[in-house]
Structure 1
């Protein structure tokens, strides 16, 4: 049985209640339950026990993050959650510091992770797909979705977790294609979380 930690990184705003992120999580849980995954959940905007969250990371084979893109990153509540949990985890249970040694202080920075699982980001964004990977678009200047999420990827890499392909739901406020997104998402979950975990 595979063990998966599902983190809801949404932060409530009047114009963004979190229904879409919650729907993606429910769809993922339905598929994963059918495949006999063991699931633990956390909502970053709700009260949590930091030590218990560290234990969830250690327990999990896969960490699945469902989050909105918020000011080119993640929500402040999810960032606080990561600051709390990863900082405690860095004290020895999830990593052995920054990976360097006093004998070799110039090398291996960031490679002290002790976890051996994988992670996946699923992101809802108001940006259209065409805004990414396109040097003619002057805001992102050709960067990819994962380029934009690089600090988040590095956070998880620090602890030894390996990435699965990122899922993006685009243009969710101005030009949503929710039904098509759900189809793409289900296929993505089956390929990344189920087929690659066998």
Structure 2
């Protein structure tokens, strides 16, 4: 069985208290434990210790990032987490520098990761409807998909030499929320990939 670090990246606002992301984190924690996996849960809004987070990433076989999509990316509090934790991990805990060597200073940028064999999964909640993705006629995303939008986050994990599990996305969660439907889809996703 696997060791799974679940990160709740939600940042609370009066109009978005985080109940959906919190419920998905709770569901993942309970489901994965019931399957015999060991879990650790970190809620970024509650604060964190940089050294403990580095140890959590080294401990985990899989990192499950649960996050709302705020302005086409992660909340600022998780970006701060990345800036603090991931930068501190550049000394060997997450990566040995940026992968380049003196004998080839222009080659292999990003290939210095130390978390080989570990995986990650993005679980995202969108206000956007599913139909706004992968359709060239749709205004905003112009035919792009969820993983296109989250390419920078995928590259962050690749920088550590981690491999992706398929992304989960819950759509239209504010204007046309159907939480029970999303919980069912998430449960099926966890069953398929864990």
Q: Normalised by the shorter chain, which TM-score bucket? A: over 0.9
3-state SS, counterpart of residue 83 of structure 1: helix
CA apart distance, 1:26: 1.0
Distance in 1, Cα, partners of 2:131 & 2:153 = 22
The residue aligned with 2:127 is: 126
SS of structure 2 residue aligned to 1:172: coil
Separation in 2, partners of 1:135, 1:46:
40
Q: Does 1:11 align with 2:11?
A: yes
Shift of 1:46: 1.8
Superposition pairs of residues 58-137 of structure 1, within 5 angstroms: 58-116=58-116, 117-137=118-138
Q: What CA RMSD, in Å, does the superposition of the two structures yield over aligned residues? A: 0.8
Residue of structure 1 equivalent to 2:152: 151
Q: Which moved more, 1:26-35 or 1:72-81?
A: 26-35
Indicate the residue corresponding to 2:20 in structure 1: 20
3-state SS in 2 of match to 1:27: helix
Give the C-alpha shift of residue 166 in structure 1.
0.4
Give the Cα separation in 2 of the matches to 1:30 and 1:46.
20
- Distance between the aligned counterparts of 1:171 and 1:111, measured in 2? 36
CA deviation vs aligned residue, 1:146-173 (integer Å, no higher than 9, x gap): 0101111111110011000000000000
170-179 vs 10-19, which moves further: 170-179
Structure 1 segments unaligned to the other structure (5+ residues): none
Query: How far 1:139 moved relative to its partner?
Result: 1.1
* 2:48 is equivalent to residue 48 of structure 1: yes
The alpha carbon displacement at 1:90 in A equals: 1.1
Any unmatched runs of 5+ in structure 2?
none
Name the count of aligned residue pairs: 193
Question: How far apart in 2 are the matches of 1:45 and 1:101?
Answer: 38
Distance 2:44 2:103 in 1: 39
- Secondary structure of residue in 1 paired with 2:46: coil
| In 2, Cα distance between equivalents of 1:121 and 1:167 | 6
Structure 1, residues 106-156: CA drift from partner, whole Å, max 9, x if none? 111111100020000101110000110110011111111001011111111
- Scaled by the length of structure 1, what TM-score is found? 0.95
- Quick check: 26-35 or 65-74, which moved more? 26-35
